[in-house]
């Protein structure tokens, strides 16, 4: 039988988780997906905050399982996070993110949560999971180079004369369609997993499974590219704006699927004795993201859309495509990743394609320092704070 004290500590940890979800919604997942579209004047700040909240909630429920399990179970070995440890870690991470929101600097949420969870976990006597850390650090280091590089190359191609824009933009839409066909959703998979559209449709085709996946992926890509080509032929400028908004929606959905795990992941080990379905936890986390997006995101949307680079529709498209691809890669492998790092890197890369594009070097340096500092600070505070709480409570 679960005691009253245990229930109380879990409730406190749950409130800390909701605070973390709000902070993420107001900062990382709520501001970054539509920031390039706002910078290109394709959508207003308030409307972007509204739609990103809805889409982020949907992504949290349909794609949040992988990262949630990684944050809750794979960062520390030998111990299970206690309610006190989860509360301390979440409060520290959320506080650092909130400071970034009100200061106008996008703190990398994955850095603060990962640092805090590892810090409290080691303070509990846990052992480091070096294999998982290697995966995480590899992705974190690769994001600026891969995302920024792809955004730069795409923006240069859209600005140049080597490729006709009426062909290039639909071609980019086709690439997005291929990726989308292979995005995994909880509704398409078994009760304890997920599956993509391509993997779901492939078995009904009279070809080997791998060939079926390729054929379905190409079909979805051709459908997306053809639809945009038709739209471009009617009105190129309007088609660009609609494509940009569609990309923002996909990135917002992906943000929910990735970022909800940072908020509710540390909570999941505590709920194993309460028979709470993971879906219910994801719904609660998604609602927290939704509230953050609707109440706190406009400030960070403005910071990203205006302070980093003066973006037009072409550079915004160039920034969002690699952001979508990287986000889905992180979700697939269950790696916590910062959407601020993804989007900011892509915005900077697309901005440099125009010879600088209004990119603020001072802002870049301060942001990178804030990212690195938040990781170290979250780890240190998590470790020290939990030791202090343990002494105070006699744990």
DSSP H helices in the chain: 4-26, 28-31, 35-39, 45-63, 65-73, 83-103, 109-123, 130-159, 165-181, 197-201, 209-234, 236-264, 278-302, 313-333, 339-352, 361-393
The average confidence (pLDDT) of the chain is 84
Backbone angles phi, psi at 90, to 5 degrees: -65, -40
Q: How far is 325 from 126, CA to CA, in rounded Å?
A: 34
DSSP characters over 321-348: HHHHHHHHHHHHHT----HHHHHHHHHH
Band of residue 54 on the pLDDT scale cut at 50, 70, 90: very high
Residues shown for the chain: 395
Average the pLDDT over each of 97-101, 324-328, 375-379 and give the range with the smallest value: 97-101
Band of residue 194 on the pLDDT scale cut at 50, 70, 90: confident
Give the residue with greater pLDDT, 32 vs 44: 44
The residues, ordered by sequence, that sit 6+ positions from 3 with a Cβ below 8 Å of its Cβ are none
pTM of the full structure: 0.85
DSSP 188: G
- Amino acid 277: pLDDT: 84
Whether 37 and 323 have beta carbons less than 8 Å apart is answered as no
Residues paired with residue 127 on neighbouring β-strands, in sequence order:
77
- Amino acid 223: pLDDT: 96
pLDDT in tens, 225-248: 999 999 988 888 888 888 988 998
Q: Tell me the domain boundaries of the chain.
A: 4-393
Q: How far is 249 from 4, CA to CA, in rounded Å?
A: 43
> Per-residue pLDDT for 96 more than 90?
no
Band of residue 149 on the pLDDT scale cut at 50, 70, 90: very high
Give the pLDDT mean for 178-199. 86
Count CA atoms closer than 13 A to 368's CA, side-chain side.
11
- Amino acid 241: pLDDT: 85
pLDDT in tens, 305-358: 665 445 677 788 888 899 999 999 999 888 998 887 888 788 788 877 766 555
Report helix angle 45-63 to 278-302, nearest 10: 160
Q: How far is 245 from 348, CA to CA, in rounded Å?
A: 19
DSSP characters over 350-391: HHHTTTTTT--HHHHHHHHHHHHHHHHHHHHHHHHHHHHHHH
Band of residue 1 on the pLDDT scale cut at 50, 70, 90: very low
- Amino acid 319: pLDDT: 85
Residues paired with residue 48 on neighbouring β-strands, in sequence order:
none
> Per-residue pLDDT for 368 more than 90?
no
Band of residue 163 on the pLDDT scale cut at 50, 70, 90: low
Give the percent of the chain with pLDDT over 70: 86
Residues paired with residue 196 on neighbouring β-strands, in sequence order:
184
- Amino acid 308: pLDDT: 47
Highest mean pLDDT among 70-74, 96-100, 273-277: 70-74
CA 362 vs CA 58, 279, 319: distances in Å: 36, 42, 20
- Amino acid 165: pLDDT: 63
Q: How far is 15 from 110, CA to CA, in rounded Å?
A: 19
Band of residue 379 on the pLDDT scale cut at 50, 70, 90: very high
Torsion sign across C-alpha atoms 265, 267, 270, 274: negative
């Amino acid at each position: 039988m679960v005691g009253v004290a245990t229930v109380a500590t879990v409730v406190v940890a749950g409130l800390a988780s909701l605070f973390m979800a709000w902070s993420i919604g107001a900062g990382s997942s709520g501001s970054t997906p539509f920031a390039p579209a706002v910078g290109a004047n394709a959508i207003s700040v308030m409307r972007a905050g509204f739609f990103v909240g809805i889409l982020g909630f949907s992504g949290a429920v349909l794609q949040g399982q992988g990262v949630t399990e990684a944050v809750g179970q794979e960062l520390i070995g030998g111990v299970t996070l206690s309610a006190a440890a989860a509360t301390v870690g979440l409060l520290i991470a959320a506080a650092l993110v909130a400071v970034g929101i009100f200061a106008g600097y996008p703190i990398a949420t994955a850095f603060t949560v990962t640092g805090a969870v590892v810090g409290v976990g080691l303070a509990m006597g846990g052992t480091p999971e070096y294999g998982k850390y290697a995966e995480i650090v590899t992705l974190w280091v690769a994001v600026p180079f891969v995302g920024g590089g792809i955004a730069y190359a795409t923006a240069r191609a859209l600005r140049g004369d080597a490729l006709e824009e009426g062909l290039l933009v639909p071609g980019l839409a086709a690439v997005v369609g291929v990726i989308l066909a292979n995005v995994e959703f909880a509704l398409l998979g078994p009760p304890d997993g997920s599956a993509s559209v391509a993997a779901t449709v492939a078995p009904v085709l009279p070809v080997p499974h791998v060939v079926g996946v390729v054929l379905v992926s190409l079909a979805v890509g051709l459908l997306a590219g053809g639809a945009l080509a038709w739209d471009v032929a009617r009105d190129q400028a309007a088609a660009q704006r609609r494509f940009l908004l569609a990309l923002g929606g996909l990135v917002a959905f992906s943000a929910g699927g990735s970022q909800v795990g940072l908020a509710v992941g540390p909570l999941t080990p505590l709920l194993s004795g309460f028979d709470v379905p993971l879906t219910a936890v994801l719904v609660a986390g998604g609602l927290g993201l939704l509230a953050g997006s609707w109440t706190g995101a406009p400030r960070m949307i403005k910071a990203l859309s205006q302070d980093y680079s003066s973006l037009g529709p072409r550079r915004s498209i160039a920034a969002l495509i690699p952001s979508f691809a990287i986000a889905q890669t992180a979700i697939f492998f269950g790696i916590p990743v910062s959407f601020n790092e993804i989007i900011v890197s892509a915005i900077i890369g697309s901005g440099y394609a125009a010879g600088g594009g209004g990119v603020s070097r001072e802002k870049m340096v301060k942001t990178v320092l804030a990212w690195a500092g938040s990781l170290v600070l979250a780890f240190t505070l998590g470790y020290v704070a939990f030791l202090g709480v343990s002494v105070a409570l006699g744990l």
